[in-house]
């Protein structure tokens, strides 16, 4: 919910899961970065859902973290 009490929702993305290690860590890290950059919650949640989706398509935790270019390309394909 945002500060006004409005519920914020964003889509989960359907991907082929290889390994879930690091998905939550990446999601949380992305949220912190988005909030620090001043993004609204809708943008934050959409981006972190992409981060989580991309991470689970690879093996490992740190090595699965996506680069900004991967996020942008994924968003272009799904939105």
| Model confidence at 4: pLDDT above 90 | no
Residue 52 placed within a domain: yes
Active-site amino acid positions: 25
Residue 6 placed within a domain: no
Q: How far apart are CA 1 and CA 61, in angstroms?
A: 28
Could you read off the pLDDT of 23-71 as tens digits, one per residue?
Answer: 999 999 999 999 999 999 999 999 999 999 999 999 998 899 999 999 9
Alpha helices by DSSP H, listed for the chain, are: 23-36, 41-55, 68-78
Residue 16 placed within a domain: no
Q: At what angle do helices 23-36 and 41-55 cross, to 10 degrees?
A: 150
If one counts the domains in the chain, the total is 1
Domain ranges, residue 49: 38-78
Residue 17 placed within a domain: no
């Amino acid at each position: 919910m945002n500060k006004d009490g409005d519920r914020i929702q964003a889509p989960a993305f359907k991907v082929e899961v290889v390994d879930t290690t690091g998905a939550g860590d990446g999601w949380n890290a992305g949220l912190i970065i988005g909030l620090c950059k001043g993004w609204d919650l809708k943008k934050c949640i959409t981006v972190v859902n992409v981060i989580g989706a991309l991470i689970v398509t690879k093996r490992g935790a740190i090595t699965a973290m996506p680069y900004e270019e991967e996020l942008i390309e994924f968003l272009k394909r799904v939105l």
